[in-house]
Amino acid sequence: MQLPFGEWLPDQPKFMNPGANTAKNVYFAARSYKPFPSLTAYSTNAIADLSKGAGSFRSTDNTSYNFASTKDTIYQLSSGAFADRGAGGKLLNNSYATCTITVTDYANIVTGSTIVLTTNAGTAVTFTSTTGTAGTDEFKTETDNDTTADNIYTCINAHADFSAVNPAANVVTVTRAAVGRDNLTVTSSDTTRLAVTDFVGGTPLLGSATDFITFTQFGDYLIVSNGVDTPQYYLMGTSTNFANLSAIASDGTPPLFRVSGVIRDFLVTGNISSATNRVQWSGINDITTWTAGSKQADSQDIPGSGGQIVAITSGEYGYVFRQNQIIRMDYVGGTTIFRFSVVSPNRGAVYGKTVCQDNRRVFFYADDGFFEIQGDNIKPIGAEKVNRFFDIDLDKAFSDRIVAAVDPFNTLAVWLYPSADNTANTTGICDKLLIYNYVTEKWSFANASASTIFSQFVGAYTVETMDLIDSSIDNINIALDTDFWLGGQRYLGAVNGDNKAAIFSGNSNEVEIETSEIELFPGLRSDITEVRPIVDATATVAITTRERLANSASTSSYSSMVTSGTVPVRQSGRYVRANVKIAAGSTWTHAQGVDFIASRAGQR
């Protein structure tokens, strides 16, 4: 009896499930499952922390640019290596945290008052006031506030872990000698007369572990934002490092925003620091213009209780995703400029990184599951299929780490997320992919350790990166003198668990597909002697059986395929399902189902 695997439907019961009970490390094509490739790392170095966002872009001269960001800085991936491109003109190696000490009423500073500064590594250094001769790490209070501040400067500047600028008045600015923004607290035993501020800075970007990074391309400009730091820009073909977007503004000042998109000829920003429900856009085809009324630049506060803006899509029209609302933006020109239409009054996107787009098809995860939006139509794509599975499988301690991306070549929308299976997870690293084929409208899942995924243009190939095409040069049938090797091919990329650039192009995933649970002979038990996997690879099979639906299932050990293509087994039961595994490293194309060789075993 032949049993097709069918689509993966984890939200349905195992018995009489019209599809597969397991579909791991595969995706569903037209009539079969195909292998979902494993991650292949190819950068020669790693970024310093988990990625909070990444983007891949082509300039007008057809050059590919790839970037990834941690919470601390922005990196460019070029020639297979990451290089720090910083923010605001600062890099990781020259960003030093600073604090201030303000002296007032010096005459009443009690002898033995202390100021405690902490190094980035966590070592506390105490500086103490005295009225006598100052020793190591001591400062004398004398004459007036400014003189006392000078003495504090001299004392701190003599310590190897800090430097200070000779103050012009009563305020001392202290800079740490090592970069980083750990252990920023500064304490004073006299907060009135020796008022201190905590250290700030230490890295080019100052976002937290939960602040994601948005990359948007506007012509040859890349715009980067996190809602905390001044928005950044990079001009492809010209810039070396990222700089403040405000530096190129000539008419008005760009807002501090979290997300952005390009709708028609406007850079549209959202989730403004002063109003999380506001969108503000630049002048038409001009990101240097921000004054309202100039070149059609303007802003709009979106009313209602939809929550903050979390994503903006790009195109001839765009969608503004709030937490519980979706608004469509259409350019109409004139004094109106944009028309705002509520497409979904009560459903939005949980987080900005859960939205992905392939041209006019937009996919997103909401409070109540997975959806696709086209035009004004919102279509549920996960209901009674994967919504309940995902809700249970998601590690909600790190739910802000979900990232969505599109694999346009294979027509897949993919959500990377941290699963509850990874009980030892303390960093929020993601370990699973939920995969939706938006042509066949079928789901599957895969394992992958990564902090972000994104649709990536691979740059010019080297001998080392040819492995991304195939691990064996004998299998590459592309002539070496063609333009193909100049790069620009689009893959589903990632920053992997080792913080290296990676592409989903390997074959190191073990595949597991399990059939629906059925009665091979309705009303009767079955004796199963062989199973023939309908796959074009060598496979192993385990049989799971039970006598009653209320019983726990019993699973056999895995048996290997023999030369005839069948797998000998010896199992009996009323309710039966077959679990097929294809070993990591196997080369195969299609997995369609199994063929049971069984006989009636009567009733029990």
Can you tell me the distance from the alpha carbon of 385 to that of 497, in angstroms, rounded to the nearest whole number? 29
Second CATH level (architecture) for the domain 2-25+509-602: Sandwich (2.60)
Q: What is the pLDDT of residues 357-398, one digit of tens each?
A: 999 999 999 999 999 998 889 999 999 999 999 999 999 999
Q: What is the pLDDT of residue 109?
A: 97
Integer CA distances (angstroms), 157 to 120, 138, 167, 222, in order: 17, 11, 12, 40
Q: What is the pLDDT of residue 483?
A: 47
Q: What is the mean pLDDT of the chain?
A: 94
Q: What is the mean pLDDT of residues 88-114?
A: 96
Q: What is the mean pLDDT of residues 178-192?
A: 96
Q: Is residue 255 pLDDT above 90, yes or no?
A: yes
Q: How would you label 272-302 residue by residue, b for 16+ Cβ within 10 Å and e otherwise?
A: beebbbbbbbbbbebbbbbeeebbbbbbbeb
**Vertex 210 angle, CA 209 and 212, to 5°:** 100
Q: What is the pLDDT of residue 490?
A: 82
Give the 3-state secondary structure of 382-401. CCCCCHHHHHHHECHHHHHH
Q: What is the pLDDT of residue 463?
A: 57
CB 179 within 8 A of CB 173: no
* Tokens representing residue 24 in the block: 């791991």
Name, in order, each residue with C-beta under 8 angstroms of 543's C-beta and a sequence gap of 6 or more.
528, 531, 555, 556, 569, 571, 576, 577, 578, 579
Q: What is the pLDDT of residues 310-347, one digit of tens each?
A: 999 999 999 999 999 999 999 999 999 999 999 999 99
**Vertex 243 angle, CA 240 and 248, to 5°:** 110
Can you tell me the distance from the alpha carbon of 190 to that of 193, in angstroms, rounded to the nearest whole number? 6
Q: What is the pLDDT of residues 35-76, one digit of tens each?
A: 999 999 999 999 999 999 999 999 999 999 999 999 999 999
Name, in order, each residue with C-beta under 8 angstroms of 477's C-beta and a sequence gap of 6 or more.
none
Can you tell me the distance from the alpha carbon of 503 to that of 196, in angstroms, rounded to the nearest whole number? 48
CB 402 within 8 A of CB 417: yes
* Tokens representing residue 428 in the block: 């929020």
Q: Is residue 462 pLDDT above 70, yes or no?
A: no
Q: What is the mean pLDDT of residues 144-161?
A: 97
Q: What is the pLDDT of residue 601?
A: 87
Provide the residue ranges of all domains of the chain, joining segments of one domain with +.
2-25+509-602, 96-196
Q: Is residue 473 pLDDT above 50, yes or no?
A: yes
Q: What is the pLDDT of residue 79?
A: 87
Can you tell me the distance from the alpha carbon of 102 to that of 172, in angstroms, rounded to the nearest whole number? 6
Count of beta carbons in the 10 Å neighbourhood of residue 425: 17
Q: Find, among 593, 542, 432, the residue nearest to 497 by Cα.
A: 432
Q: What is the pLDDT of residues 397-444, one digit of tens each?
A: 999 999 999 998 899 999 999 999 999 999 999 999 999 999 999 999
The helix (run of H) or strand (run of E) holding residue 188 is: strand 187-188
Q: Is residue 460 pLDDT above 90, yes or no?
A: no
Query: What percent of the chain clears pLDDT 90, i.e. is strictly above it?
Result: 90
Question: Would you place residue 482 in the very low, low, confident or very high pLDDT band (cuts 50, 70, 90)?
Answer: very low
Q: Is residue 480 pLDDT above 60, yes or no?
A: no
Q: What is the mean pLDDT of residues 541-561?
A: 95
Burial class (CB in 10 A: 0-12, 13-18, 19+), 197: middle
Strand segments (E) across 207-284: 214-218, 221-225, 232-235, 243-244, 257-263, 266-272, 275-281
462-47-52-502 Cα dihedral, nearest 10 degrees: 30
Can you tell me the distance from the alpha carbon of 369 to that of 381, in angstroms, rounded to the nearest whole number? 8
Q: Is residue 466 pLDDT above 70, yes or no?
A: no
* Tokens representing residue 209 in the block: 């572990």
Q: What is the pLDDT of residues 10-36, one digit of tens each?
A: 999 999 999 999 999 999 999 999 999
Question: Would you place residue 458 in the very low, low, confident or very high pLDDT band (cuts 50, 70, 90)?
Answer: confident
Query: What percent of the chain clears pLDDT 70, i.e. is strictly above it?
Result: 95
What fold, for 96-196? Immunoglobulin-like (2.60.40)
Q: Is residue 110 pLDDT above 80, yes or no?
A: yes
CB 471 within 8 A of CB 464: no
CB 302 within 8 A of CB 342: no
Name, in order, each residue with C-beta under 8 angstroms of 195's C-beta and a sequence gap of 6 or more.
101, 102, 104, 188
Q: What is the mean pLDDT of residues 183-201?
A: 97
Can you tell me the distance from the alpha carbon of 76 to that of 80, in angstroms, rounded to the nearest whole number? 10
Q: Is residue 478 pLDDT above 50, yes or no?
A: no
Count of beta carbons in the 10 Å neighbourhood of residue 81: 12
pTM above 0.75, yes or no: yes
Q: Is residue 165 pLDDT above 70, yes or no?
A: yes
Name, in order, each residue with C-beta under 8 angstroms of 428's C-beta and a sequence gap of 6 or more.
50, 209, 397, 398, 400, 401, 418, 451
Q: What is the mean pLDDT of residues 165-176?
A: 94
* Tokens representing residue 348 in the block: 């939005």
Q: What is the pLDDT of residue 484?
A: 44
**Vertex 540 angle, CA 535 and 542, to 5°:** 115
